[in-house]
Structures are given as structure tokens and as C-alpha cells.
């Protein structure tokens, strides 16, 4: 039997969310969806830009609110479903984002489902690695913290250089140049022999993750 998927690691900028932190003019802030700058937003954008404060989105520039990629939201929700089904699995972050404090704001406020589950609540304390340098260093720290083998980890990132570097550790890596998509997650599950189609829950409806980080 092959290795089990036990740690799912996500990049942040343009893997979990868009726009990237370097594209913002200032720290993200909550603004009403009926404000002049947000009135033209489509229903699809508003769905991806949901925050824990109803009727508000996070904005840090004049043209687009912070949005969670549908594939990332789906994967994080399904990880919670897998836990409820008895899988020994958890999620983590490995990021080199330009503005760590702004990223923490996004983790606190952006949500991944209609129940108001925040991104930050999906990661246990100590499982969010944000720092400069090679992402090999991020994974070495996650390995030390968890004791999980690299072969039991999966990684999603939109920068090929990070994929190349981390894959040398034995981690199964998936390149997401257009942001995290549901297909990326399904491909990773297949690689680990995971099939949830026969279960009573198909994911995407988890009511909560772990306790909020902040």
C-alpha cells in the first residue's frame, strides 16, 4: 500500500487567493459591498470574496477585492470532511508573500463556505509558515513540527521554481499557475488513492475548521 496523504500544504498568493499582496496599495480593509467602488462587482466575484462580516469584502486596491479561488475553498472544505470520516490529515501554509501582516488579515477575514469558516481556522497553530527564502526551509520546519514524512505531503503553488525545489524532498507537488482549481485537488487525491465518492458527504459543506489562529 502506498503512503497516505497526511499534510496538505498551500501557497497563499495566487494559489489560495487573488490578487497577490504585492498588487495591493495598502493593507486589506473591510468595505461594504454596496459602496461605490464595489457596486459593479459580479455575483461570482462576491461569492469568492465573502468575509466573516456579512455584506463586506476585503479591499486593498481600487479594482478588485480579495477573493478565494474556488478550488482552494473546495479542497479546504473537503479536508475537513475527510477528518470527519476518520482520515488523519491536516492543512498547512508555505508562503513567501511580500506582506505577512496583510496575509494574516486575509486569513482572519476571508471565508471558504456559507457557514462563515475562515481561512485561518483551517490551519492549526504553528502550521502557517510565512517567511522569505527557499520553501524547502518551510517544509523542513513543517516536517520537524509534525513528524510527517515528506512522502505523505502534498503541495500546491503557482510558481514553478517552488514546485521544483520542494519536489526534491519527495513531496508530491502540483503547479497551479492559474490559481488552485478543483481539478488540481482531485489529481492529488487520485495520486494517493483517495476516493470519497462512496461516502455520504462529498465535501464542500464542512461547518468549521480548527480554532482560529488569531
Hey, where are the domains in the chain? 7-21+68-101+113-191
Q: Using the predicted structure, report yes or no on whether residue 208 has a pLDDT greater than 80.
A: no
Question: Residue 29: its pLDDT value, please?
Answer: 95
Which of 180, 213, 190 lies closest to 77 in space, CA to CA? Answer: 180
Question: Residue 206: its pLDDT value, please?
Answer: 39
Average pLDDT over residues 158-162: 97
Q: Using the predicted structure, report yes or no on whether residue 201 has a pLDDT greater than 70.
A: no
Q: Using the predicted structure, report yes or no on whether residue 203 has a pLDDT greater than 80.
A: no
Question: Residue 40: its pLDDT value, please?
Answer: 84
Average pLDDT across the chain, whole number: 91
Q: Inter-axis angle of helices 135-146 and 160-167, to 10 degrees?
A: 50
**pTM score, whole prediction:** 0.91
What CATH homologous superfamily does 7-21+68-101+113-191 map to? HAD superfamily/HAD-like (3.40.50.1000)
Q: Using the predicted structure, report yes or no on whether residue 1 has a pLDDT greater than 60.
A: no
pLDDT tens string 20-39: 999 999 999 999 998 877 88
Residues sharing a CB contact under 8 Å with residue 76, sequence separation 6 or more, in sequence order: 91, 112, 119, 122, 209
Average pLDDT over residues 44-49: 94
Q: Using the predicted structure, report yes or no on whether residue 110 has a pLDDT greater than 50.
A: yes
Q: Using the predicted structure, report yes or no on whether residue 43 has a pLDDT greater than 80.
A: yes
Average pLDDT over residues 104-113: 98
Task: Give the separation between CA 186 and CA 22, rounded to whole angstroms.
Answer: 30
Question: Residue 205: its pLDDT value, please?
Answer: 38
Q: Angle CA(157)–CA(127)–CA(80) in degrees, nearest 5?
A: 80
> For residue 23, what is the DSSP state?
G
Asked if 172 and 155 touch (Cβ cutoff 8 Å), the reply is: yes
Amino acid at each position: 500500500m502506498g503512503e497516505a496523504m497526511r499534510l496538505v500544504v498551500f501557497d497563499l498568493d495566487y494559489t489560495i487567493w487573488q490578487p497577490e499582496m504585492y498588487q495591493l496599495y495598502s493593507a486589506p480593509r473591510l468595505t461594504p459591498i454596496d459602496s461605490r467602488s464595489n457596486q459593479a462587482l459580479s455575483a461570482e466575484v462576491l461569492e469568492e470574496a465573502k468575509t466573516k462580516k456579512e455584506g463586506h469584502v476585503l479591499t486593498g486596491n481600487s479594482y478588485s477585492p480579495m477573493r478565494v479561488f474556488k478550488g482552494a475553498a473546495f479542497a479546504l472544505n473537503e479536508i475537513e470532511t475527510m477528518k470527519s470520516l476518520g482520515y488523519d490529515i491536516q492543512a498547512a501554509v508555505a508562503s513567501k508573500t511580500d506582506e505577512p501582516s496583510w496575509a494574516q488579515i486575509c486569513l482572519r477575514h476571508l471565508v471558504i463556505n456559507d457557514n462563515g469558516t475562515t481561512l485561518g481556522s483551517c490551519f492549526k497553530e504553528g502550521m502557517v509558515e510565512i517567511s522569505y527564502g527557499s520553501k524547502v526551509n518551510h517544509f523542513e520546519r513543517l516536517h520537524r513540527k509534525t513528524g510527517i514524512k515528506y512522502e505523505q505531503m502534498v503541495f500546491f503553488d503557482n510558481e514553478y521554481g517552488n514546485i521544483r525545489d520542494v519536489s526534491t524532498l519527495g513531496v508530491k507537488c502540483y503547479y497551479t499557475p492559474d490559481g488552485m482549481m478543483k481539478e488540481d485537488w482531485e489529481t492529488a487525491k487520485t495520486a494517493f488513492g483517495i476516493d470519497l465518492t462512496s461516502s455520504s458527504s462529498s465535501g464542500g459543506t464542512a461547518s468549521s475548521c480548527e480554532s482560529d489562529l488569531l
